[in-house]
Chains A and B, each alone.
Chain A
Amino acid sequence: MASWTLSVAEVRRRNNINEFGNPVGRPIVFLHGFGCNQGVWRDIVPTFEPDHRIVLFDLVGAGGSDLSAYDPGKYDSLHGYAEDLLQILEALDLRDAVIVGHSVSSMIAVLAANRDRSRIGGLVLLGPSPRYVNDGDYVGGFEQSDIDGLLDALDLNYLTWSQQMAPVMAGNGDRPEVGMRLADNFCATDPKIASHFARVTFLSDHRRDLAEVTVPTLVLQCRDDAIAPTEVGEFVHRQIAGSHFELLDATGHCPNLSHPAAVSASIARFLR
């Protein structure tokens, strides 16, 4: 496939790759979830800067990624994003990398590890859900009509968004070196892409991929996560043999933003 011939510089540009931390440390690659961009890791990064090579990037279609690279066919499933992740690992020549995926990106990390684990040393799945829509005995937390409602909300809100999403950056004054580099295009998004990504995120079903995971895996679950309920996190844990499960002292679906210290501490324990 032609996309495998992208140069390192092209991969960097396509995914707006930013690197921090210790260039010779064990690499950690952070993947943001639906609805935002790599900036969601701003409060997590500092903990790992001294000892780790940190790679942040934007999924194609999000943040500062190359929107012209958004091939609807490729990104009609999480496999397209997983392919990109593997390219990034190769382009940056990362070895024994720990992949931290938030929300939908935890499944992207799973798919990448299942496809080629040669550069992946561990997975941290933050608020994972292999399927959001209920299916028989399986409780994903939502009905198809809820997802349709989300798609409506996205469309209804996109006009106001486009006005709001001017690159405003606040509340990051104490860490300008991270903030400055991540300030552009915060959470801005193309409405068509957002709608398609929502469909791919919330209508995919990757339950059967979990059992194929063979790398060390940490499942990080929040209490009271309305998007990925604890039962789902436990399901993921049960399906991935040998995985660790940790219930964070945090609530909501974005503990990386609301409870960064707890998230960082759990990841740090996993790394040890």
Chain B
Amino acid sequence: MNSNALVRNAPCGLIAISPDDRLVHANSKLSEWLGIDLEPLMGSSLSSILTPASVLFYETRMKQVLSMQREAMEIALTLKRGDGSELPALVNASVGPDGVVYAAVFDATGRHNFERELLRARREAEAAAERVRILQEASVALSVAQTDESVASQLAERARTAFAAARVVVLLVDERGDLRLVGGQDTDTADTDALWWPVDAAITGAAPIIVESLDEAATHPGLAEKLHAARLEALTATPIAHEGVDLGVLVCLFARHRRMEPEAIEVQEALAAIAAEVLIRLRLQRRLEHLAMHDQLTGLANRTAMFEHVSQAMVDARRTGRPFGLIFVDLDAFKRINDESGHVSGDRVLTEVARRIRGAIREGDLAGRHGGDEFVIAVRNVQASEAEVVAERVRASIAEPIDGVGHPITASVGVAMYTADRWDVPPDVLLDRADAAMYSAKAAGRDAIRFG
């Protein structure tokens, strides 16, 4: 027996490929397997016996490996049979000293289906595990968020990683009902009108808006151009909503055209739902905090909040050496309104007075309702003369007629300054002094200001 017999009869295909990717030799076993006479194919390119996917793989991957490492073992490639069917194969290849690639081809039909099944199952399992991981991690990260901004930026970061998005922006509906950019990478295109179209569409609809390519974007005027200018090609806009309440939109921007798999969209919706729950919880929390610190009738700070604020203002004053003023306001003859016109009118007067006080004080000053018809104002970083200006504005604004109230409302105002000589005075003593000054104003004929 000679080596030709070995080449001819060995239970594997043998093939030689020239350095410029031409078939130069094949044994008869390979011809037999492929059901074609390979002789006439000598000199033609590899694509005559490989599927396009395998040509891609061979040319872009295996060839470079062979060139670098001189051999490659157990490479899965798919050959084309004469009848158009496919022959899954495992290939061992090495580069000879002449630069020719010598390869042995093994029929892998037996393990092919098994491997495909394995691959499919593994991909599905990995994808499912990945989806669970994304949602779990997002759930944990978002549950500790204490602000809307933190929810938005966490959501943006999670979404960007999960969907390999070039950029993600999160827009939330603020207290006034306006949509504003809260989280995620800012984009120089975020303020262009066209880009807001999918956002508007998402906020008004229940389902995500999906734009997979610039061709699809072309259905909306200007969108494709804007995306291209921003080096973007695709996007999704997923509504963030909770039981019919629109909270915002999660916008993922992609720099190449993308097929949006239904599973990925489901994950986006689930992420948006997690964020929505946290946003609702934060809203409730803010509402409760507001209730705990505010007077319900007037919306001004309540006594607890005022005490905390004044304590802190005292610390700041001592630290900075800048005095502050505490103004005590008591309405004159308020009891008469309650008695003559009833509590509803009384409440209306209190609400109006609160509104006027708010308008009369400076930004950074804090007004509170001390109880009944008494109000307290903390005026920071002022000398007595400046505190008096504020006190006078408050007095004058209250003295303006109130619609529907028969007789004029006025206020007696007392001011106590927290100055260096009083650094050791506690908050309640300062309050007493302001209160006492207010009584001096009352004693002086009401509608007046006194210092104490």
Contact = CB atoms under 8 A, between A and B. Distances in A.
A208 interface: yes
B72 A164 contact: yes
Contact of A146 (B56, B161, B231): B56
Interface stretch (B5-13, B58-66, B279-287, B378-386): B58-66
A72 interface: yes
16 contacts: A33-B60, A35-B61, A40-B68, A73-B161, A76-B166, A76-B256, A143-B52, A147-B56, A152-B53, A154-B61, A157-B61, A157-B76, A224-B20, A254-B64, A257-B67, A259-B20
Nearest to A83: B231
B102 to A, nearest CB: 15
Interface string A121-152: 00000000000000000000111011111101
B67 A254 contact: yes
4 nearest CB pairs, A to B: A149-B53, A77-B255, A72-B164, A146-B52
B73 A186 contact: no
Nearest to B122: A155
Interface string A242-268: 000000001111100111000000000
A42 to B, nearest CB: 9
B405 to A, nearest CB: 60
A73 B160 contact: yes
Contacts, number: 167
Contacts of B256: 76-78, 200, 203-205
A160 B74 contact: yes
Given A72-B164, A171-B95, A226-B21, 12 more contacts: A34-B61, A35-B65, A73-B160, A77-B254, A111-B231, A142-B52, A149-B56, A152-B119, A157-B61, A164-B69, A203-B256, A258-B20
A79 B53 contact: no
A103 interface: yes
Interface string A67-79: 0000011111111
B423 to A, nearest CB: 46
Contact of A186 (B20, B68, B77, B257): B68
A227 B59 contact: yes
A187 interface: yes
Contact of A251 (B20, B74, B119): B20
A187 B66 CA distance: 10
A202 interface: yes
A39 B47 CA distance: 26
Contact of B166 (A34, A79, A186): A79
Interface residues of A, number: 61
Contacts of A250: 20
Contacts of B68: 36, 39-40, 169-170, 186-187
A182 to B, nearest CB: 9
Given A146-B56, A149-B78, A168 B69 contact: yes
Interface of A: 1, 33-36, 39-40, 72-80, 103, 111, 115, 141-143, 145-150, 152-157, 160, 164-165, 168-171, 186-187, 196, 200, 202-205, 208, 224, 226-227, 250-254, 257-259
Contacts of B446: none
Nearest to A227: B59
Nearest to B167: A73
A40 B77 contact: no
Contacts of B228: 208
B353 interface: no
Contacts of B254: 76-77
B56 A202 contact: yes
Nearest to A171: B70
B119 A35 contact: no
Given A155-B123, A187-B68, A258 B53 contact: no
Nearest to A115: B231
Contacts of A200: 256
A155 B118 CA distance: 11
Contact of B75 (A160, A168, A254): A160
B55 interface: yes
A226 B47 contact: yes
Contact of A149 (B20, B51, B64, B168): B51
Contacts of B150: none
Nearest to A183: B68
B428 interface: no
A39 B72 CA distance: 17
Interface in B215-249: 228, 231, 233
A252 B76 contact: no
B31 interface: no
Contact of B60 (A1, A103, A168): A103
Interface string B387-403: 00000000000000000
A237 B410 CA distance: 86
B57 interface: yes
Nearest to A257: B67
Contacts of B78: 149, 153
B76 A156 contact: yes
Nearest to A172: B68
Contacts of A1: 185
Contacts of B164: 72-73, 75-76, 196
Interface centre among B46, B67, B68 (most CB of A within 10 A): B68
B56 A227 contact: yes
Contacts of A208: 214, 228
A170 to B, nearest CB: 5
Contacts of B70: 170-171
Contacts of A76: 164-166, 254-256
Given A149-B54, A170-B69, A35 B255 contact: no
A227 B23 CA distance: 17
Contact of A252 (B21, B116, B160, B257): B21
Contacts of A150: 53, 56-57, 60
